[in-house]
Structure 1
Amino acid sequence: MDVALLTVGDELLSGDTENTNATWLARELSDAGARVTRILTIPDEESVIADAVSRYHDAFDAVVVTGGIGGTPDDVTKAGVAEAFGRELVVPKDVRAHLEAKADRFAEENPEMVDRYDMDLDLDAWAAIPEGAEPLLTDESFAAGCVLDGVYVMPGIPDELKAMYATVAADFGGDRTTETLQTPAPEGAVVGVVAEAGERFGVAVGSYPRSDDAPGRIKVTGEDSETVEEAIAWLRERVETVEER
């Protein structure tokens, strides 16, 4: 399964917010056996979102879009996804009812906050999803996410993203497997053996430099777990290694 990630938000592009979602999702998907080959960060612009979703939907098995699904004026991700598919945004009655009940519970549990602030929520905006999409609802997220023909739309708040991803994690997988070894050797010293391992075993081999507080890494990825293990064993015989921390 080839997966593309789209992270949406002006705050990501300006550097005001660190894009930890992309790193977390890439790791989760890779561990599941999927292959992430595109990560793109785009602004809160409906037309840009629509264009990116349309292009990636045609090119990948799945697209995961995060950020901009709330009910504030700059949250236009779901509208952009709807535009990409030529659909309208709709408000399913059951989704709105779910969010209304959630808002009522919040008001009951936080009366002082409700009294202090004007909590005038546009429930239709929070509940809206592209026509024909399957809604994704969690206790952690107020806004509804959704799935439409392999495009997964989720929150940008990390805890909310993780909770919503857990509801669809079983959709992602593949036969790719990865093994890693750690080495104190500088990256320049392992270039030849890394290249030979890739050619000899037909696997992807990447080397990542050491830092002041961590050794270097050599990562082997392939479709067959036995071949990956053979490649790692071959590398261990030729590269100085250290125990993983």
Structure 2
Amino acid sequence: MGRVIILGSASAVPDAGHENTHILVESGSRIVLVDCPGSPTVRIEQAGVDPKLLTDIILTHFHPDHVSGFGPLMMGLWLTGRKEPLTVYGLQPTIDRAQKMMDLYDWKQWPNFYPVEFVCIAAEENSPVIDGPDLRVVASPVSHLIPTIGLRFEFGQSKHALTYSCDTEPSQAVRRLAEGADVLIHEATGSSVGHTSPEKAGEIATQAGVGALYLIHYPPQLVNPEDLLVQARKTYQGPIHVAHDLLEIKIGG
């Protein structure tokens, strides 16, 4: 029904085996990239997907570890011959900064650039992002250091769903986004301001009644994956996984 590929799983500081967190979501004709750190083109190709087939980009917030690769991705798609329109979504502050970043590159002067539409997401719970026959996406503001959104993906006409917390402190908005979802991908940076520990991520998963919990956005240099699992199992009894780069998750079969 749907497919999720973890393109990167690290928090703000990546290492040789863990790129900054970003994910690819596929359903039918939609291929959605969530965040653009590092070199998204390379990671997308490593996942076996043609980057030119991207239909949408969602930028969750404007921190460097989530947007540093946005300009290179946009340029790379142009240089490899993309002609199809591309839609970029985000909160108003995120979209404003993404456009300013592209303006610094004078991108509107690049000849024969493909059409790009920037769409602002309302800073309200369950704001519509994508509403198509293959995929429905809604967003809610979460509790991070700057304006940030979590996301819920619903696949086709089924009841199968995925929720991604993005960077956030423990948030009831995430819990509401995740109600009854097949999978919750939740950050596990730790208990610092603006972030969540694995134990608290487990609490959210339990409260939301999700089918499985995937921990992401962790500091790979500082943590042992098994320790993350041990912490999350204190508060969530369902299946728990530590996300890793190029992991593929099937939603709904």
Q: What TM-score, normalized to structure 2?
A: 0.28
The structure with the larger Rg is: 1
